[in-house]
Structure 1
């Protein structure tokens, strides 16, 4: 995950020492930070979570989020980072950070997580695109170590073989857990002699994977491996997530069992909106943001709340616009909204009045929300 805008609420940072820096491919590298004993409790984390790095560059303070590749039992913070251009924040980190430097690192957060079930027989399927492997790798290491009855299948897409990040670490996991982990690599810009593994990971590939790889189950001769899937993990670009998530859903996986994480902005809904809403015009909106009070009027409710506030140039925090990252989380203090699909809020949080502005359709003439979550 690599997001640009933090939530309105305060993020806690601590200075951590860089213990290791390693170039992985031509445009990806890893950073490993030590966790001092006095900060151990603040840096307890779950597989799949992320941290924010705060770094000064050319007189400006930049904050960006990066998913961790480390598993909780490793007691370090390890990141996988892709360099998209010479002017990028990632390249600034790569060129300037040296082992021994101290960097401001936020406490871990994020909800691309799974509930541990060490006593159950589970089948988990993961799809990763490019540097989207980072939180998936954290999950693989954690599950293989803590859930001895869980088997995992990873489908990992890259443009070419040379661009596969963490290939050695993944292969070492396969060697260590050959009966529980199976990995298949896909290449969108390289021929490998088998059409199944050429091209992007998308809905069509999911259908082929189900029919050609996740076939007869050795543990149950009357069903397929796909029939036994308990959870799906997806991390990559928005279009990839949208295509694969919908394919998994249409092939029988419940939406609540399909978990995904974006590593860039995405402005579309992951699942189609299947409900029509009554038209409401001239909606009055009051909201609190960064300890400031704002008031505005929405023309109607044809566009979701966050998108309308952004159109009006309000500095509302966001990243994905798809109900995944939680950056636009706020409290509904007055009025009514319909919260569409979201991958972030729990049922308990929804019941307490928390909403995601990017997934909220306004259903009353007036609403009041608090982005400061207090």
Structure 2
């Protein structure tokens, strides 16, 4: 089960006028706990009065950086009125200590020196952070693999990790193809001007990435949805397309959920949860707060981060009964079929439910 530790900030590195990279120093005794796969994320928490705030940020360093130097890095882009992002990009100083959960997330790829593959990535804005870890890890550890990255931003001043990406291109010129797409800054090619849309993805699929083995998508909902649809329509197997969202929007669509039982207004389901080897039974309403919110009232150690159905930190396996989910942006179809749900979006449907946090 994931847990929090206090990590010291080693460095705050400006990236653009609105973004920075936060470097953590991981002591030797915690490096095994913070071992991660490229593409995973960290959850940070900050006390806020009687409550606490949590935010999830993707790791943009490589596993080798952690193993060799104890270095762990996240990328942060400031959002308007953002409590966490404003603090991290504007006030945080080296030497500060932050409560950081051990790595989580299923977006990403195993890296092995024997691999020989072509990986294509699409990213926009701060969606580059997990993709950078994936790209760098593959290029450094898999000498027979190639990577193509199409990265969208408004202008060149908005490009996070601009110099680092250029250095990767210079270091691996025959194995790394880098395409910067700018929506508010004209370029010489139509392919590189405007937003990453269906036409651009089709051109990429028919040209540079026609032999791609895997696709990794990270960015806002519009980009990820458009890209996934275009790739599948172009013949890419759905199982070869992996995605993670960085921003869903104010009104994300909801899944079709069964109508609550007739007695929902007066009765509650008995929900039994297994967490960290301990089992608790909690009454949960059929409507109103989610299962996660009900569990947190008595089990504050329950894992969560975004509470928006995006990060997947609160994944749980339903072992008895059934639940409905309001929305889901983290679980793949095969995970849903296996019984996994997001506790932050789940509501009981049956009088008794049992689930086990992953």
Asked whether the two chains share a fold, i.e. TM above 0.5, the reply is: yes
CA distance in 1 between counterparts of 2:150 and 2:81 reads: 30
Match of 2:234 in 1: 251
Alignment of structure 1 residues 141-220 onto 2, 5 Å: 141-211=136-206, 213-214=207-208
Per-residue deviation at 1:198?
1.6
Match of 1:233 in 2: 216
Per-residue deviation at 1:17?
1.5
Please, which of 334, 352, 356 is the counterpart of residue 320 of structure 2?
A: 334
Match of 2:6 in 1: 15
Q: Over the residues paired in the alignment, what is the CA RMSD in angstroms?
A: 3.6
Match of 2:31 in 1: 40
Q: Greater CA deviation, 189-198 or 247-256?
A: 189-198
Is the partner of 1:196 in helix, strand or coil? helix
Match of 2:350 in 1: 366
TM superposition score normalised by structure 2? 0.80
CA distance in 2 between counterparts of 1:56 and 1:264 reads: 24
- Residues 57 and 253 from structure 1, CA distance in 2 versus in 1: closer, same or farther, beyond 3 angstroms? same
Is the partner of 1:204 in helix, strand or coil? helix
CA distance in 2 between counterparts of 1:371 and 1:279 reads: 21
Per-residue deviation at 1:101?
1.9
- Residues 318 and 59 from structure 1, CA distance in 2 versus in 1: closer, same or farther, beyond 3 angstroms? closer
Alignment of 1:54 onto 2:40: no
CA distance in 2 between counterparts of 1:95 and 1:207 reads: 39
Is the partner of 2:60 in helix, strand or coil? coil
Per-residue deviation at 1:49?
0.6
1:284-321 deviations in whole A, cap 9, x for unaligned? 654357956234447xxxxxxxxx866xx978968486
CA distance in 1 between counterparts of 2:183 and 2:54 reads: 31
* Paired residues of 1:264 and 1:320 also in contact (CA < 8 A): no
CA distance in 1 between counterparts of 2:289 and 2:46 reads: 29
TM superposition score normalised by structure 1? 0.77
* Paired residues of 1:50 and 1:65 also in contact (CA < 8 A): yes
| Unmatched 5+ stretches in structure 1 | 1-9, 215-224, 299-307
Match of 2:300 in 1: none
1:218-276 deviations in whole A, cap 9, x for unaligned? xxxxxxx41x2111101111111111111111111111111111123456579xx9xx9
* Paired residues of 1:282 and 1:297 also in contact (CA < 8 A): no
* Paired residues of 1:268 and 1:321 also in contact (CA < 8 A): no
Per-residue deviation at 1:344?
3.6
How many residues get paired? 335
Per-residue deviation at 1:121?
2.4
* Paired residues of 2:321 and 2:354 also in contact (CA < 8 A): no
Per-residue deviation at 1:199?
1.4
Per-residue deviation at 1:106?
1.4
Alignment of 1:96 onto 2:91: yes
